[in-house]
Structure 1
Amino acid sequence: MFEVLLLITAVGAGFLGAILGLGGGIIIVPVLTLVYQVNIRYAIAASLISIVATSSGAAAGYLKDSLTNLRLAVLLEVGTVTGAIVGFLIASFIQPRLLFLIFGAFLLFSALMMLRKRTDHVAVENHPWSEALKLHGSYPAENGWHHYKVQNVPFGLFAMFGAGILSALLGIGSGIFKVLAMDGAMKLPIKVSSATSNFMIGVTASASAGAYLLRGDVRPEIAAPVAIGIIVGSLFGARVMTKIPSRKIRQIFVVVLSIVSIQMIIKGLS
């Protein structure tokens, strides 16, 4: 019965995550810990397993559409995977109450970022690293191929290191930080930022999930229904997303994220 409830909950988390572009992990971890009283380390491990599965499917579609910048993704993954390893090592020494506080703060930050209006920031020139490694590229648009350049590559690597730490600590893809870094600092087009971030999320989560698996935190009775449910929910969410006014959904969900974040912080403080 418990597994069935987890499956149904995960379908809902994957559905909402796909509509909002945040992934199911940011929703399923608070639900598992607050509603089902699951140990937060087991919830984080299950979330990471589901992120690997959902990211793989979406990443294939973006690669097919020529939106993902593979060269840039491979370079930035050096930062995220290193951060994921460091995050796992840190998580081994952090008390669960502190994890609740960090997650609550992250949810508040995500709620604020969901209200942010996304606009493209075009880079006017390549960073020397971008020029040397040929990180600039192009993507298909309605009126032909759009060419873009890449700025602030060292800062992007540093930001990805931080995103990797958060991914391992909280069981999330940290996609919101990756998109913010590529969109705001590195000046990539928002479509390229989102597609490249999605590709990277799966790799980062794989590194973190492997570490949690070796430590014995991956519980099959929790991870299996969560992963299956989020995959199914994501498929439905992706189809429905184009038919629902995203602005209204985001406004409602900001309230939900804020309430959940406060509950996570209260649980951490208590």
Structure 2
Amino acid sequence: MISLTFIGIILGVSIIAGIIGALLGLGGGIIIIPALTLLLGVDIRYAIGASVISVIATSSGAAATYIRDRITNVRIGMFLEIATTTGAILGAYLAGLIHARYLYLIFALVLGYSTLALFRRRNVELASDAVPHPLAKKFKLFGTYYDPALQQEVNYTSSSVPSGFLVMLGAGIISGLLGIGSGVFKVLAMDMFMKLPMKVSTATSNFMIGVTAAASAGVYFSRGYINPAIAGPVALGVVLGTTVGTHLMLRLRNATLRKIFLPVLLYISLEMLLKGIGR
């Protein structure tokens, strides 16, 4: 029998997860899974199932607002989904061939370097060195949106499209190999390599992770890993948090979002490092 206190804690944690997921485009798994397993003692399988639900709820809740306000770039998202989907298939194939410990160590180093690079760009509001790549012109990987924080119309384009595509391919491989969310890599690819505004990166990532999570939800459901007593409060809390997060994101500056993203990135890199060394 699940107590009301237990449900209340799940609801509170999920609201926080929804806010962070909407702000940073990472989904709620980074908070939901540790909270359910370490704080509440939930079996990891049911925690992952609830995490999938949280990602879908985050994406669904944020997507409508961000698309309405033209912050999500659907064309860029669908273009990059080609890479992440291909990578996920490749990762699933390689899963039995490569020891996960070494992968965690490699990706911990990659994220550590990315944290340092992002720290150096923490005060950048809009990239001044964004040079349109020929592929950006060919596939129309650019856009415009009104930024309430800056009180101006922001025009942007994509730089280094091949680099961003390769990082997205790597994000898909990571997801397939390690069974972890790859939202952090998606945001990094768009913000650091393609030089998109941070708001566009997080909003488009929110759109993309929902597509990925929806594809895997059926698998977890068929295996019985989605417990309604856990997934229900998670979905409700995440939707409430997402509502708050979307309104916050529209009013924050790109540089502020980047500073919020930094400690989350550092946490994930340290978590991967600890898994890599067996702790």
Please give the TM-score of this superposition, normalised by the length of structure 1.
0.73
- Hey, what does 2:57 align to over in structure 1? 53
| In 1: Cα distance, 2:95 partner to 2:46 partner | 12
Which residue does 2:192 correspond to in 1? Answer: 184
Q: 1:87 to 1:33 in 2, by over 3 A?
A: farther
Change (3 A) 1:118 1:191: farther
Native 8 Å contact 2:27 2:206 kept in 1: no
CA spacing shift, 1:267–1:5, aligned 2, 3 Å = farther
Query: 3-state DSSP class of the match of 1:269?
Result: coil
Superposed CA offset, 1:134-175 (max 9, x none): 223333356764433323223222212222344464553x33
**Cα distance in 2 between the residues matched to 1:78 and 1:88:** 16
**Which of 122, 133, 137 is the matching residue for 1:117?**
122
Ranges in structure 2 where 5+ consecutive residues have no aligned partner: none
Instruction: Give, in whole Å, the separation in 2 of the partners of 1:161 and 1:79.
Output: 5
List per-residue Cα deviations over 1:117-146 (Å, max 9, x = no partner): 15232422323x322222233333567644
Contact 2:54-2:235 at 8 Å conserved across structures: yes
Quick check: 1:39 aligned with 2:43? yes
Q: Distance in 2 between matches of 1:7 and 1:92?
A: 36
Alpha carbons of structure 1 residues 143 and 161: separation in structure 2 relative to 1, 3 Å: same
Q: Which residue of 1 aligns with 2:140?
A: 134
Question: 1:59·1:198 contact (CA, 8 Å) conserved in 2?
Answer: yes
* Counterpart among 272, 275, 278 of residue 269 in structure 1: 278
Does residue 164 (structure 1) correspond to residue 172 (structure 2)? The answer is: yes
Opposite residue 206 of structure 2, the aligned amino acid is: N
- 2:34 alignment counterpart: 30
Q: How far did 1:10 drift? A: 2.2
Same amino acid, percent of matched pairs = 47
Q: Is the 8 A contact 1:88 1:211 kept in 2?
A: no
| Cα 1:117–1:42 shift into 2, 3 Å | same
Unpaired runs of at least 5, structure 1: none
Residue of structure 2 equivalent to 1:75: 79
1:50 CA displacement: 1.1
Is 1:202 the counterpart of 2:210 in the alignment? yes
Helix, strand or coil at the partner of 2:144: strand
**3-state DSSP class of the match of 1:38?**
coil
Aligned to 1:235: 243
Cα displacement (A) at 1:26: 0.8
Residues 193/239 of structure 1: CA separation in 2 closer, same or farther (3 Å cut) = closer
Please tell me whether the aligned partners of residues 58 and 206 of structure 2 are also in contact (alpha carbons under 8 angstroms). Answer: no
Structure 1 segments (4+ residues) deviating >6 Å:
89-95, 110-114
- 1:167–1:208 Cα contact (<8 Å) kept: no
Structure 2: how far apart are the matches of 1:58 and 1:190? 15
Q: Structure 2 length as normaliser, TM-score?
A: 0.71
Q: Are 2:22 and 2:58, in contact at CA under 8 Å, matched by a contact in 1?
A: no
Shift of 1:22: 4.5
C-alpha deviation, 1:76, in angstroms: 0.7
Retained in 1: the 8 A contact 2:83–2:169? yes
- What is the RMSD of the two structures over their aligned residues, measured on CA atoms? 4.2
Deviation at 1:30, TM superposition (A): 1.1
Is the contact made by 1:84 and 1:204 (CA closer than 8 Å) also made in structure 2?
no
| Counterpart in the other structure of 2:225 | 217
Residues matched between the structures, number: 261
Letter in 1 for 2:202: S
Cα deviation, 1:220-265, whole Å, max 9, x if unaligned, reads 332222222222233345556769xx69x959x949x759956993
